[in-house]
Structure 1
Amino acid sequence: MGISFARIAYLSLFIVVMSLTYGCASVQSRGYVSAPAWAANYTEDYVQEFWVLTESGQRTGLEGIQVSEFSRGGTSGGHMGYASVPGVGQTIKVVWRVGGHNDAEATWKTFSKDVVVKGETSNDPETGNFLIIRFFPQHEVEAEFVWEWAKPYAKSSPRVDQLFYGHRVMRQLGE
């Protein structure tokens, strides 16, 4: 029963994030959820940065940087924030900036999209919730809450994108 290096790295990161944030309630009042964001990019655009706003435009503190093109792995190489964000069924605004690796910031293009958060969360203290932000062609984006057990050999959620395990498996909007 072999376990891949990517799976070990993923679980290690997950356990670190969960241990650093243990004590935060998984589901908070007003339908907000405390969670980190992960980004999956199914485009050939390099996402320099992204952030999540409430429907009314307030910053949530959830953001990330350096999301690689699909052909280069499609995940983030930079900091992914942890914050309290609107939960499943609520609308958030995702704002992202696209530009080449060496392009001047003045040339980056900014996009934004209001999306209804889908997925499910868990209140079990032995699980962790996280929000996956997925970028698709034609400047489409979606947001999904996924939860997983915070145990090294627990079965992973089938909703977690294969990109996080080092497999370039294309996903379509709405899958």
Structure 2
Amino acid sequence: MTQMARVFIAITLSMLAACATGQRMHYVDASAWSANYTEDYIQDFWIQTADGKDTGLSGVQVKEFSAGGTGGSECCSLIPGVGQTIKVVWRVGGHQEDESTWKTYSRDVEVKGAMPTRKDAYNILMVRFFPGQQVEAELIPDRGEPGGSASPRVDQLFYGQRVMRHIGE
């Protein structure tokens, strides 16, 4: 093989490897948890990439703040990591309202938080809903060790304490 052919093959293989790993390099496997600091009942929400592709991560039945403010957690999906933009889409409607009356909102948000340092970490994408259809997303790289203390970044609502948070806290 000529020197030129070897260089061409090496460059091509390098580019293919970069394409194959580049997307995953800034992505992380996480569960979706939700905290609602509004009095809107959030029927469901889902996470998309910035260009609108579904990530497969979603949540349902996020209670109003006065009713506890949490929703069930959904496990797990590969999502854009810290510093990347995601689109959060959610639907608001009363418990007994017809689905045709629900309102849909979406916001592009930058994922805040920290990337995991352990491969076996249980990662949480904490999606927080605030008044005025504001939302934020924080990656919490581990919710805490079994038998140990939980991550201080997990909202107090998950421990039965109605502590109001504000966007950016």
Quickly name the TM-score band, shorter chain normalised. Answer: 0.7 to 0.9
Q: How does 1:35-74 map to 2 (within 5 A)?
A: 35-74=30-69
| Unaligned ranges ≥5, structure 2 | 1-22
- The one-letter amino acid of 2:89's match is V
Question: Partner of 2:138 in structure 1?
Answer: 144
- Structure 1 or 2, whichever has the larger Rg, is 2
Query: 3-state SS of the aligned residue for 1:164?
Result: helix
CA contact (8 A) 1:61 1:81 kept: no
Question: Partner of 2:116 in structure 1?
Answer: 122
Select 1:33's aligned residue among 25, 28, 32. 28
- The one-letter amino acid of 2:38's match is T
- Distance, in Å, in 2 between the alignment partners of 1:148 and 1:135 is 21
Q: How many residues align?
A: 147
CA contact (8 A) 1:126 1:149 kept: no
User: In the superposition, relative to structure 1, how do residues 55 and 126 fare at CA in structure 2: closer, same or farther (>3 Å)?
Assistant: closer
Q: How many percent of aligned residue pairs carry the same amino acid?
A: 58
- Distance, in Å, in 2 between the alignment partners of 1:149 and 1:111 is 28
Instruction: Report the aligned-residue RMSD.
Output: 1.5
User: In the superposition, relative to structure 1, how do residues 138 and 161 fare at CA in structure 2: closer, same or farther (>3 Å)?
Assistant: same
Select 1:112's aligned residue among 106, 116, 129. 106
Question: Partner of 1:88 in structure 2?
Answer: 82
- Distance, in Å, in 2 between the alignment partners of 1:128 and 1:111 is 28
CA contact (8 A) 2:91 2:102 kept: yes
- Distance, in Å, in 2 between the alignment partners of 1:89 and 1:44 is 29
- Distance, in Å, in 1 between the alignment partners of 2:99 and 2:86 is 25
Query: 3-state SS of the aligned residue for 2:82?
Result: coil
Q: List per-residue Cα deviations over 1:104-125 (Å, max 9, x = no partner).
A: 0000000000000000122314
- Distance, in Å, in 2 between the alignment partners of 1:74 and 1:149 is 18
CA contact (8 A) 1:53 1:60 kept: yes
| Unaligned ranges ≥5, structure 1 | 1-27
- Distance, in Å, in 2 between the alignment partners of 1:149 and 1:106 is 37
Question: Partner of 1:10 in structure 2?
Answer: none
